[in-house]
Amino acid sequence: MVEDSLRTAGLEPRGRSWVEPDSACDLLFSGSPDRARIALEGLIERTDVIVQGEAGRRKRLLVADMDSTMITVECIDELADYAGVKAEVAEVTERAMRGELPFERALAERVALLKGLEEDVLGRCYDERVRMTPGAEALVRTMKREGAYCLLVSGGFGFFTDRVAQALGFHRAVSNVLPLRAGRVTGEVQEPIVGAEGKRRALHDAAAEHEMELADTLAVGDGANDIPMIEAAGLGVAYRAKPAVASAAAARIEHNDLGALLYAQGYSRSEWAA
């Protein structure tokens, strides 16, 4: 069925091999990657399709978003729950992630609603609400073991990114600062804000620092502020993302967890870091 679909799209199948039996399969073909993606996406129920060149599939730089990508929640929405304003904050978050609001404006609006929140709530929120996305630790630690540099970039706050980065094994985290005064959130934002351009720049800077081409990079995220880094990366992945992000990305993960990005690089499960 798969080979027939490729032929119908004017492509020539060149064989197949299993990365992981019954879980991940490489299909080789010659022809247009875009035509192959159109032919294959949605062909097999609950199957993700990543089309890429055979050479250079194991990436040397991972740049990953945090909220709703490496972790399962939006931290600012969960903080807002403790402040009793989750509905208001979550609405702004959703609009920003869909690209309907500029990220910087959305961040300022949400942080203003957190004014007066006690500092110790941040620790409670991390302990009680933050959960790592399945496959996240395996992705980071396997790539790190194989010599890749792993960078967590977030429009969220350093209190959370520093802890998530340490828990998952990232080399470093880049994020925003949540200003505090006398043990409470001030309701202000601290410049410069890490938004869409900050994430793209972090990808470029890390690639330059480690003397690698952008083709050697993997970026993954879910919101509109991730689009520039996803478009710039050698392999840009939308992970269970908003429609605008899914449309902009060359690869989309909708059904599997983040372990799919190890399969995409040719790592069988026996090669994953524990």
Catalytic residue ranges: 65, 67
Exposed, middle or buried, 201 (CB in 10 Å: 0-12/13-18/19+)?
A: middle
DSSP symbols for the chain: -HHHHHHHTT-EEEEEEEEETTTEEEEEEES-HHHHHHHHTTTSTT-------STT-S-SEEEE-IIIIIBSS-HHHHHHHHHT-HHHHHHHHHHHHTTSS-HHHHHHHHHHHTTT-BTHHHHHHHHHH--BPTTHHHHHHHHHHTT-EEEEEEEEEHHHHHHHHHHHT-SEEEEE---EETTEE-S---SSP-SHHHHHHHHHHHHHHTT--GGGEEEEE-SGGGHHHHHHSSEEEEES--HHHHHH-SEEESSS-TTHHHHTTT--GGGS--
Which amino acid would we find at residue 79?
A: L
